[in-house]
Amino acid sequence: MQINQITNEKLGESVFCTRHESGLEIRVMPKAGYTSAYAVFGVKYGSIDTAIKNENGEFETIPEGTAHFLEHKLFESEDLNAFERFAKTGASANAYTSFEKTAYLFKGSENIGESLEILLDFVQNPYFTQQTVEKEQGIIGQEIRMYQDLPDWQVMFNLLRALYSAHPVRIDIAGTQESIAKIDADLLYRLYKNFYNPANMVLCVVGAIEPQEVFDIVDRCIKKTDVKPVERKFEKESGKPVQSFIEEQLSVAQKQFLLGFKEELDAPLLSLEDEIASEIVLEALCGKSSPLFKRLLDEELIDMGFGSEMFNGFGFSCVMIGGTSADPEKTADIIKSEIRKAQTEGIDPAAFERAKRKFYGRYVMCYNDIDDTANMLMNLYFNDYEPFAELEACKNLTVEKAQERLNILKADNSALSVISPIA
């Protein structure tokens, strides 16, 4: 294997990268003076992957929620489940499914090599039976019902349903009661074979372990398979939302809201530069030190939980701004007015520089945390970026680029999601 060492001189950190013959990308950052290590084994398969190519080269729809369902089932085996195996090495293990990926991970301070072998082993050895699948349908069904009662979750997915007409980002990561009922053991094996190909995966390890030890373990444990690329389906959506307002009543004390601005994409993914520019624009516009935040707080329209987010991925991109408010509609109008003002008069250069320094410092601090670093390395790889790319993109960002990103926030492309107390 050819090993590529990528070093950031300012941080004094190096990432050792290689591509295994199976197609698996490996990224290792050894950390001097650390006593623990964190490993994440990621697959580019998430809740938005609701179609796969069949033998005829055509996209075929699969049930929503299958990536999350498969994540749950992979921890099982005919003998000890993965959690019981990790308990013997002293490692803490977990997994999660997001819109674009599924990740299996552990953190430990002893027997790290043994724990890494367990991680690679159980993810590569699926064990599904119809009986255990049916049991899991009941468990995940309860999970879906639980999330339907969480206001933070519902205000976001209601917004996504208001913004997007067809993109699967509008569907709950766990799917629906109806969709998971269509899942059986044969389907899970078929999806596993399609998506869990090493060429569609990455292993990132950070902390108290040497790169060569990781490479040797991978070479010993990864199964040799045909390198097979996995293609995602991209369907272009217009910038127009499905509806401009959506409201739901739940058991909450105060109204919650999210104001979203949808961006029309010509390509499946935003550039890293665009993503970071958007985050910095939001910080300058409505961060805790902004005039907008002070005004909304002084008028008692928001509390300290008010915030913003650039929410983007394969085929979707939108800005979300929200929190708790006594009057979400009035708050949304004030936010839109402040955006129009900044679009006309320009972003305050001093506010831009403060926001840029804040984000650069945040990225630097990320490398002190082995969990954050490993997940950052995984995310960069899945979006076709080298390690430390976010630092360079942030450092080189100009106020002109930030202004360009601000101009995508169009009132006609916005929607307001509100959760209100039950009357």
Predicted confidence (pLDDT) per residue in 326-381, tens digit: 999 999 999 999 999 999 999 999 999 999 999 999 999 999 999 999 999 999 99
pLDDT of residue 227 exceeding 80, the answer is no
Measure the CA–CA gap between 110 and 88, rounded to whole angstroms: 11
pLDDT of residue 303 exceeding 90, the answer is yes
The pLDDT value given to residue 278: 97
Mean pLDDT of the chain: 95
Average pLDDT over residues 274-289: 96
Average pLDDT over residues 68-75: 94
The pLDDT value given to residue 240: 96
Measure the CA–CA gap between 207 and 386, rounded to whole angstroms: 19
Residue 60 annotated to the active site: no
- The DSSP code for 49 is -
Average pLDDT over residues 34-41: 97
Average pLDDT over residues 201-214: 97
Cite the beta strand spans of 131-255 per DSSP E: 201-207, 245-250
Query: Residue 53: pLDDT band by 50, 70, 90 thresholds?
Result: confident
The pLDDT value given to residue 324: 97
pLDDT of residue 78 exceeding 80, the answer is no
Average pLDDT over residues 388-417: 96
Query: Residue 224: pLDDT band by 50, 70, 90 thresholds?
Result: confident
pTM for the model: 0.95
Query: Residue 80: pLDDT band by 50, 70, 90 thresholds?
Result: confident
- Tally of residues, the chain: 423
Could you count the other beta carbons within 10 Å of the beta carbon of residue 300?
10
Measure the CA–CA gap between 190 and 185, rounded to whole angstroms: 9
> What are the structural domains, with CATH classification, of the chain?
4-221 (3.30.830.10), 245-421 (3.30.830.10)
Query: Residue 263: pLDDT band by 50, 70, 90 thresholds?
Result: very high
Query: Residue 423: pLDDT band by 50, 70, 90 thresholds?
Result: confident
The pLDDT value given to residue 170: 96
pLDDT of residue 233 exceeding 90, the answer is no
Query: Given 13, 25, 64, 71, which residue is catalytic?
Result: 71
pLDDT digits (tens, 9 = 90+) for 166-197: 999 999 999 999 999 999 999 999 999 999 99
Helix, strand, or coil here: 108? strand
The pLDDT value given to residue 176: 94
pLDDT of residue 309 exceeding 80, the answer is yes
Could you count the other beta carbons within 10 Å of the beta carbon of residue 125?
12
Joined together, the tokens standing for residue 420 give: 């209100």
The pLDDT value given to residue 79: 77
The pLDDT value given to residue 231: 87
